Every structure is written in C-alpha cells, then in structure tokens.
Structure 1
Amino acid sequence: MLSPLAHREPDLAAPHHLLLGSDLHGVTRYAGEVAAAAGAPVVRDVGDLAPGVAAHLHVTDRLIHRDPSVAAATVESLSQHVQLTVTLHDVPQPTDGPGFGARAAAYGRMVRASHAWATNSWHEHALIERWCAADARGAVIPLPVFRTPVPVGDEPAGQSEPVLGVFGFVYPGKGHQQVARAAAALRRAGTPARVRVLGGAAPGHDDEVEAMLRNSRARGVPVDVTGRVREADVTRALRGVTVPVVAHRNVSASGSLNSWIAAGRRPLVRDGAYAREMAELRPGTITLFDDATLVPRLEEAVRRPAGTWTSADTDLGPGLEDTAVAYRAWWASVGA
C-alpha cells in the first residue's frame, strides 16, 4: 500500500523513472513506488526517453542481464542518451562468491557512467567506495518504512509450536539453513520449534530449497515453504509467526527487514554494519544476534513473544513521503 503522497500528479521537474522488468521484482516495485510518491513520470521503454532528458534508474545488475558486464554496458549506453542518475541496489561485496569481481567491476562502470548516484545505506556507499569506484561520492537515501494497516480482528494468536519465520527468496547465504539448525537446538532443549519459509526459491536456486528440506528432515525440524506470498497476504503472513528472523550474511539493504518492521514486528537480525545502521536509524525496531547468540535470542523471544512486536506509536521513519522529499532535494542539488 502506498501513502497518499503516492497519488500526486506527475511533475515534469522530477526526472523520468525508467522501470525495467516485472513489477514482481522488488527493485522494480520500489522504483515505481518512489516514482509515484515523487510525482516522477514513468517510462517502461528506453525508446520513450527523449535524448538529453533527465532520467533515473533503480538498478541491480541482475535485473538487466545475467552477465554483469552486459548490464554495465547497457547503463553506459543509456547514460549517453539521457542525463542519468541511478540508485544502486544489491551492491557487490566479497561474500557474493565467485561472481564478486565481475559485479564489482560492473558497478564501478555504472557509477562512472552516471551523472550522479545514490545507495540505500552508508554501508553500501562504503562498499562502492572500497570495491567498485575508489573516491566516488554518492548520496544515501534509506529505504522507507511505513506502517502497514492491520485488518480488524487480525490480532496474533498463540501457537502450540513456536514458528520461526524467514521472509523472502531462498538463496545461498539468506540464513534459512542456520535458522533450521537453531530450531533443532531448541527442539533438543524441549521447545518444539518449527520453521516457516515465507517465499520460494530465487531463480536458479531450487537446489537450495531441496537441501534445506533434506537437512531439516535429518534434524527432525518441520519446515513449511509457502512459495511466493501474494502482496495482499504479506502483512497477515508476517504477523502469523512467533519469531521473525532476518539471518542473511551478506545483507546490504533489506526490503524483507523493512517488511517485518512495517507489519509491526521486531525481528531478530544478524549483526553487521547494515544492521547496526538500521538499529540506529529506527531505535527499538530490531534485535541483533550473531552466531553465538541466535539460539539464546530465540529462546528469549519464545518465552517473551511481546518482544517481537513494536507498539503502534513506535517511530518507523523515514517513510515513503520522507524518501520522496529526499530524492527531490537530491535531484535538484545535482541538476537532474
């Protein structure tokens, strides 16, 4: 659901927003939300952009092409046609594995090709500077959160078996396996925990789901994999687990974390630079854990489930309205 600001009329002072790919992709969906909230004209085809016009692109290499170098070349070509600003998503970091070098080089090319660039966190900004484009200077505009209205009568119900919930695509490093291992530890200690995966396999990672289910069965841990959750059902699904967990190891900016917070949850989040940045940005909305403390944090959350919720008066800002204001100020400052 978008805020009332999202319904403003298009404002030609805001750069055109080029939306690539399916609206089911998180980056594309977010780009559309920002465009609507900022009053920016939206185009779906590069051919609809007049030469020299100001344009903004929310970009992750995988949204454009499987080969990072091809994705970078596409952005370079676009930058020669329009005055291009970009927001970089899924910023490369060494934990990406074998593809890190190619992705880092591609993001460096995209930074150098753009008129101006932004990330969603200072953590990502630092990654760009360190690995992709030394001495580059971009803006930081955090991902927004705005509280999701809760349907009347949709209060959480007690559960005989605590459910540990992980939201989003399943892929290596997302933390599903660790959460299942933690559930096994809880069960050995007498707490009959189970795992609910709110999502399905990321493209090309069906084997990760199969491995998770196989390993979980061997440990005696029940695991439910829902597949993709419809947008209309997300809030109810996120409010329907006992303990929300955000366990991915290489997080740089997390839409799934913001979804938990928007639904009124206070998730357990793996400690790291980004997690600490978000804890400072939105005090009282997350609980940090590391490898040594996940099981104790889960035990505490099961004993005191109220600690996995935020109150209605908790400040979740910045919200979408704040994000739109920040983008418009940034575009004005760089002449976009």
Structure 2
Amino acid sequence: MTTSPRPRTTTQVPHHLLIGPDTHGVTRYAGEVAGAAGALVVRDARRLDEGDHTHLHVTDRLISPDPTAAADLVEELARRVRLTVTLHDVPQPTDGPRFHARTAAYARIVRASHAWATNSWHEHALINRWSIADAHGTVIPLPIQGTTGVRADTDPHVLGVFGFIYPGKGHRQVARAAAALRRAGHPVSVRVLGDAAKNHDDEIDELLRTSRERGVPVEVAGRVPEDEVGDALRRVGVPVAAHRNVSASGSVNSWIAAGRRPLVRDGAYAREMAALRPGTLTLFDDSTLVPRLEEALRSPGSTWIEPGTDLGPRLEDTAAAYRSWWASVAG
C-alpha cells in the first residue's frame, strides 16, 4: 500500500521511518525528533512512495540481530527512497566478536545513504576510524529536556546507576568502589535503576553474587516507568555513569535532565559533552572513582546542577538543526 502523491520541495522535512518498539531509546528519540520537526511518521516502509526523502535513526540491532542482514535491509530501502540516516550505537572494538561485522555493516549503510549524521564528534570519528575512512557526515547532539534548580530529598548513602545492565556498563566497578568506601567507614549501598539488556540476565546474578561476597548491599529496581524516571534519579545520593564503551549516552542525559550532575567515566565522548554543557558532569578515571565518590558523599550539593546552567541544545534546537541539515543536503 502506498500513500497518495504529495508535492515535494527541496526543503521538505523528510518522512521518519520508525523501527522497533517505543520502549527502545533510539525509537523513542526518533519519534521525539519527528514530532518536533513536524515530520510524518511511517511505521511500515511499504507505505513510502518511490523517491520519498526518508530519515531513519539506525542501530543495527533494532533492524536485525545479524549486522549483515541489517545492512541488506537498509540498502534495499535506500534503493527505493532518498535516505538520510542518524547512526546510533556505532561500532567500536569493545563490541567483541561482532565488531568486524558491525563495522562492515555501518560502512555499507553510510555508502547507501544520501547523507548521514551522528550525535557526537566522537561517534563521527569512530565511523571514520573503523567503518569508512574520510566519509563526511554531520553532528547533531542529543538534546536534553530538563530544568535546573529542582532538588529533592535523597537517600544520601545510595550510589545510583541508571540504564540497562550489560557487560562494561560499570555496575561491577561501582560495586567494587562501594566496597572500598564501606571499608573506609561509609555505609553506602548501590541502587541499579534498570533491568538486564536482552540476553544478559546472567549479569544481574553475577553482580548480586560478587557484591554479596564484598559485603555491598545492591538493589536492582528493574525498569523504571518513564513518568517515574526523574523522581527516581533525584532520589539517589550519588549518580554514577561508569560504562566504558560509550559512544553516546542517553542515561547520562537522563541524569542531567533530572537536575543531577553525575560522575562520568572520562573519555572522548564525556569530555565532548562536558565542553558542550559546562557544569553538568564530574569526570573520573579508574584511579579517581573512589575519591570522587567520597567528595560527593561529603558535599552532596556537588551532585546537583547549579540553577541557571545552560542545558542546551533542547529538543527544539535539535529539530532546527535537523531541518537546516536536511535543507542543505536536499540537492
């Protein structure tokens, strides 16, 4: 089935093809951008007319568990429509055995698309380094929808980690740091706000087992309903984002949107975001996590963003950046 013919202009906002459930962060974000940009949302690619300018937010795992099959489907779509893409979850060596298949898939997706974007220069550099050298995309940072100055009573000795549980997300490191703090006399515990990522249920069992061995209380709260996320993030004593293989982080942005200034593992992406939004992150490395946590426990005000801090870009800024970019590649 196809839609009725529509007049086209070079500055027309492209249709947004949404793939996957709305509970997935990439799909949810794609819908938010579409709404803010005034785009028509399409859930079934068969409803797109030949030659339609179409935008797709891409992570291979949303399209297919097989990166090669995901690239096949994107190439097939690009033969029918004029495709622009935003690349998410870009490949990097910490992907493990799937790394080479993913880099090849993302190279094919870039070549098939009319133009491409990432959410950070860090991700753009990863694409150039590992997938396709000297390709030129644009960068449109993830927006934040939140306010500063809204504070709440906290559970002061709770270290909070938000997001899916999977290897490398940092839960184990936070538990090890909590053990060191408890040995130093701080009665801390760890609260995990999130559930296991697909096929990683064993990570919860392993986290709980090793934490018990270290004498660290760990609470796994499971998935937090969307309308309760802000309150949950404001309730913990110290927010921590310790994941190692960050390409872009919705969980860090969620902390910021809740008015929190999280402790974030140092790296290229973290430094880029700290420069984009000064005063919203506290960086640490492996040698400084415990001292940074001790400082936060002694000075809880340091875990909140100061009123008046600029959290931009906002969603409307992001939509404007997309509209400008789509117009620039319309030829």
Query: Which TM-score applies when normalising by structure 2?
Result: 0.95
1:273 corresponding residue in structure 2: 268
Contact 2:37 2:320 in 1 (8 A): yes
Partners of 1:148 and 1:69 in 2: how far apart? 41
Gaps in structure 1 of 5+ consecutive residues: 1-10
The residue identity in structure 1 corresponding to 2:191 is R
Counterpart of 1:109 in structure 2 is: 108
Asked whether the equivalents of residues 151 and 259 of structure 2 are also in contact (C-alpha less than 8 Å), the reply is no
Distance in 2, Cα, partners of 1:155 & 1:72: 45
User: Shift of the alpha carbon at 1:156?
Assistant: 2.2
Q: 2: CA distance between counterparts of 1:311 and 1:149?
A: 6
Q: 2:5 aligns to what?
A: none
Residue 228 (structure 1) shift: 0.6
Contact 1:147 1:264 in 2 (8 A): yes
The Cα of 1:146 is off from its aligned counterpart by 1.9
Q: 1:157 aligns with which of 150, 153, 157?
A: 153
**SS of equivalent to 2:83:** strand
- Contact map agreement 1:148 1:235 (CA 8 A) in 2: no
CA–CA distance in structure 1, aligned partners of residues 152 and 288 of structure 2: 26
Partner of residue 198, structure 2? 203
Partner SS state of residue 260, structure 2: coil
Q: Is the 8 A contact 2:148 2:305 kept in 1?
A: no
Matched, 1:221 2:216: yes
CA shift, 1:205, in A, is 0.1
Amino acid at match of 1:215: T
2:303 to 294, 302, 308: 308
Name the aligned partner's letter for residue 79 of structure 1. Answer: A
Amino acid at match of 2:166: Y
8 Å CA contact 2:148–2:306 kept in 1: the answer is no
TM-aligned CA deviation for residue 312 of structure 1: 2.6
Q: Deviation at 1:98?
A: 1.3
Q: How does 1:236-255 map to 2 (within 5 A)?
A: 236-255=231-250
Offset of residue 317 of structure 1: 0.4
TM-score, normalising length from structure 1? Answer: 0.94
CA contact (8 A) 1:186 1:193 kept: yes
Q: Tell me the secondary structure at the aligned position of residue 296 of structure 1.
A: helix
- Kindly indicate whether residue 68 of structure 2 is the aligned counterpart of residue 72 of structure 1: no
For the structure 1 residues 129 and 155, does the alpha-carbon distance in structure 2 shift closer, same or farther, using more than 3 Å as the test? closer
Secondary structure, aligned partner of 1:57: strand
Aligned to 1:47: 46
Q: Is the 8 A contact 2:154 2:234 kept in 1?
A: no
The total of aligned residue pairs comes to: 322
User: What percentage of residue pairs aligned between the two structures are identical?
Assistant: 71
Aligned twin of 2:290: 295
Matches within 5 A, 1:91-240: 91-147=90-146, 155-159=151-155, 162-240=157-235
Deviations 1:242-292 (A, max 9, x none): 000011000010000000000000000000000000000000000000000
For 1:158 and 1:147, the matched residues in 2 are separated by: 19
1:311: how far off? 2.2
CA positional deviation for 1:149: 8.7
Residue 154 of structure 2 contacts residue 236 of structure 2 at CA under 8 Å; is this kept in 1? no
Runs (5+) with no aligned partner, structure 2: 1-8
Change (3 A) 1:158 1:320: closer
Contact 1:91–1:124 (Cα < 8 Å) also in 2: yes
* Alpha-carbon distance between aligned partners in 1 of 2:147 and 2:238, rounded to the nearest angstrom: 18
The 8 Å contact of residues 18 and 42 in structure 1, kept in 2 or not, is answered as yes
Asked if 1:19 corresponds to 2:15, the answer is no
Offset at residue 125 of structure 1 (A): 0.2
Deviation track 1:135-175 (CA, whole Å, cap 9, x = no partner) reads 1000000000121599xxx842253x600000000000000
